[in-house]
A and B are shown apart, each in its own frame.
Chain A
Amino acid sequence: MSWFTKTFSSTIGRKLLVAITGLFLCSFLVVHLIGNLQLFSADEGVAFNAYTYFMTHNPVIRAMEIVLLLGFAFHIYEAVVITRRNQSARSVKYAVNRPEQNSNWSSRNMGLLGTVIFVFLLVHLYNFYFKLKFGEVSLDAAGNKNLYVIAVESFSHWWYVALYVISMIALAFHLIHGFQSAFQTLGLSHKKYTPAIKAFGYFFSIVVCAGFAAMPLYFFFLY
């Protein structure tokens, strides 16, 4: 093995990859949230559909789509490898264990939270991405594929709205640990900046996830 592969298969190297891809995925969340805020504009989806057309046809965005896919793939793969190693580091468990007295639930359950988010991601991609790419989609007044009506229809079902809201709560807890943890992993810890990073991570997690959760709730209750 070369020094490079050795580095990224060590316990620190693997979590560096999880941290870097995790922060990259956070940047994706920001772009995705800002774009999708157009669902709230009262124009029956004209602006949102035009944005959808842009996102599916711009070459830079198409290239970034592949980078994004790789980001998810590395994040999940490395996290699974680390989790399996960590589970096998203690084969005899404690008869009595009180981890709630020394650490946060979300910090100990990133794998569980990640799995919830992964299942959500599959459902979400099937319902929007897959339908848009390969399904029969009607056109709106401006002649763009009408993704807006798919959103309206999907979010008229209570169970679908519930799935989205629960998944966003899981994502919020995942981010509350993950955001600040990524900085710690990268060694970016300093008494001047770490308190601000932790506070911003908390704020970021709640605002982003509340923003996403507001979309299905808006269509279900107010549309």
Chain B
Amino acid sequence: MAGNNPNSTPMNLTLKVWRQKNAKTQGQLVTYNVKEISPDMSFLEMFDVLNEDLLRQGQEPVAFDHDCREGICGMCSMYINGRAHGPEKGTTTCQLHMRKFKDGDTIVVEPWRANAFTVHKDLSTDRSALDRIQQAGGYVSVNTGGVPDANEIPIPKPIADKAFDAATCIQCGACVAACKNASAMLFLSAKVSQLALLPQGKVERKTRVENMLAQHDAEGFGSCTNIGACAAECPVGISLDNIAMLNREYISAKATSDNIG
């Protein structure tokens, strides 16, 4: 019954999509026309339609990252019309709907751009640099013993809430993509804050922030200059307060840790 709803009128769109064979070759924007796109489709479903068309014509489909398609996994990326995850605030690309666009629109779609993220193919990028930052200290060591009772250590509700807000980071890399400096500090700060706020995480807080920042810098990400584009584009609303906390953690760790190397 979609046809009865004037807002569901199918759209015809022009896409300019970044096509790149692999990390070693040069890429370019290629123009495609997609027809009969329902406004109720997600942006990724529109790409599914494009890819079916391409397959039917015997062409290589566009590679793009996706997994859960419900906004929680952080796999989907795409720089859409100059914005990470497109024009809508607080959404991932899979949760961006075609009703945000108009019939006849031209949409430019590029991969995340940062030297720390290499393009695998087309719109798919290698974001394992973020995994390596996480591996450098984004954990709590539990060396031995049985499973402790969940409520054994009392944590005030406001602190638990703050830690949870930081923990909502889905590691999609939109902060890096949107940052003028290609800095991953919003991501890094969410991981550092999440653990430094909690009693279990405080044990390793100094080595954690030192090692994670060292890995961030070694991966070739830029330095934060407090522009705020990251927080504005973050699909889960990670706040800049986390970056201030990261700075505090780093200053106090460097001033007081036993690490003199």
Do A and B interact?
yes
Partner of A96 from B82, B183, B222, B259 at Cβ < 8 Å: B82
CB distance from A87 to the nearest CB of B (A): 8
Contact: A88 with B183, CB < 8 Å? Answer: no
| Set of chain B residues within 8 Å of A90, measured between Cβ atoms | 113-115, 181-182, 222
Q: Is A127 in the interface zone, CB < 8 Å from B? A: no
For the complex of A and B, the 7 pairs showing the least CB-CB separation, nearest first, are: A98-B82, A187-B248, A189-B244, A86-B181, A89-B222, A11-B223, A102-B232
CB interface residues, B 100-127, toward A, < 8 Å: 108, 110, 113-116
Q: A88-B115, A185-B226 are in contact. Are A102 and B178 (CB under 8 A)?
A: yes
Contact: A186 with B228, CB < 8 Å? Answer: no
Q: A2-B260, A7-B254, A90-B182 are in contact. Are A96 and B110 (CB under 8 A)?
A: yes
CB distance from A213 to the nearest CB of B (A): 26
Q: Is A188 in the interface zone, CB < 8 Å from B? A: yes
A12-20, A24-32, A65-73 - interface stretch: A12-20
Interface bits A162-200 vs B (CB < 8 Å: 1, else 0): 000000000000000100110011111100000000000
| Set of chain A residues within 8 Å of B250, measured between Cβ atoms | 10, 12
Q: Is A107 in the interface zone, CB < 8 Å from B? A: yes
CB distance from B245 to the nearest CB of A (A): 7
CB distance from B81 to the nearest CB of A (A): 6
A contact residues vs B (CB 8 Å cutoff): 2-3, 7, 10-16, 82, 85-86, 88-99, 101-104, 107-108, 110, 177, 180-181, 184-189
Q: List 9 A-B pairs, Cβ < 8 Å.
A: A10-B214, A90-B115, A95-B18, A97-B82, A102-B178, A102-B232, A103-B229, A107-B227, A185-B226
B contact residues vs A (CB 8 Å cutoff): 16, 18, 29, 79, 81-83, 87, 108, 110, 113-116, 178, 180-183, 185, 213-214, 216-217, 220-229, 232-233, 240-241, 243-251, 254, 259-261
Q: A86-B180, A86-B182, A185-B247 are in contact. Are A107 and B108 (CB under 8 A)?
A: no
Instruction: Report Cα–Cα, A101/B113, bound state, in Å.
Output: 18
CB distance from A120 to the nearest CB of B (A): 22
Contact: A89 with B114, CB < 8 Å? Answer: yes
| Set of chain B residues within 8 Å of A102, measured between Cβ atoms | 83, 178, 228-229, 232-233
Contact: A89 with B110, CB < 8 Å? Answer: no
Instruction: Report Cα–Cα, A21/B247, bound state, in Å.
Output: 17
Contact: B245 with A187, CB < 8 Å? Answer: yes
Closest to A183 in B: B244
Contact: B113 with A92, CB < 8 Å? Answer: yes
Contact: B260 with A15, CB < 8 Å? Answer: no
Q: A85-B222, A89-B183 are in contact. Are A10 and B213 (CB under 8 A)?
A: yes
Instruction: Report Cα–Cα, A16/B185, bound state, in Å.
Output: 15
Partner of B227 from A2, A3, A92, A103 at Cβ < 8 Å: A103
| Set of chain B residues within 8 Å of A93, measured between Cβ atoms | 113
Contact: A189 with B108, CB < 8 Å? Answer: no
- If A95-B18, A95-B29, A184-B247 are given as contacts, then 5 extra A-B residue pairs at C-beta distance below 8 Å, sorted by A number, are A86-B181, A90-B222, A101-B82, A104-B227, A189-B241
CB distance from B173 to the nearest CB of A (A): 13
Instruction: Report Cα–Cα, A185/B221, bound state, in Å.
Output: 17
Contact: A16 with B180, CB < 8 Å? Answer: no
Instruction: Report Cα–Cα, A11/B223, bound state, in Å.
Output: 5
| Set of chain B residues within 8 Å of A108, measured between Cβ atoms | 180, 227, 229
Contact: B217 with A11, CB < 8 Å? Answer: yes
Contact: B110 with A184, CB < 8 Å? Answer: no
Instruction: Report Cα–Cα, A91/B117, bound state, in Å.
Output: 11
Contact: A184 with B240, CB < 8 Å? Answer: yes
Contact: B232 with A11, CB < 8 Å? Answer: no
Instruction: Report Cα–Cα, A180/B18, bound state, in Å.
Output: 38
Contact: B248 with A107, CB < 8 Å? Answer: no
Closest to A12 in B: B250
CB distance from A5 to the nearest CB of B (A): 11
Q: A94-B82, A181-B226 are in contact. Are A86 and B183 (CB under 8 A)?
A: yes
| Set of chain A residues within 8 Å of B259, measured between Cβ atoms | 3
Closest to B117 in A: A90
Instruction: Report Cα–Cα, A186/B247, bound state, in Å.
Output: 6
Contact: A89 with B182, CB < 8 Å? Answer: yes
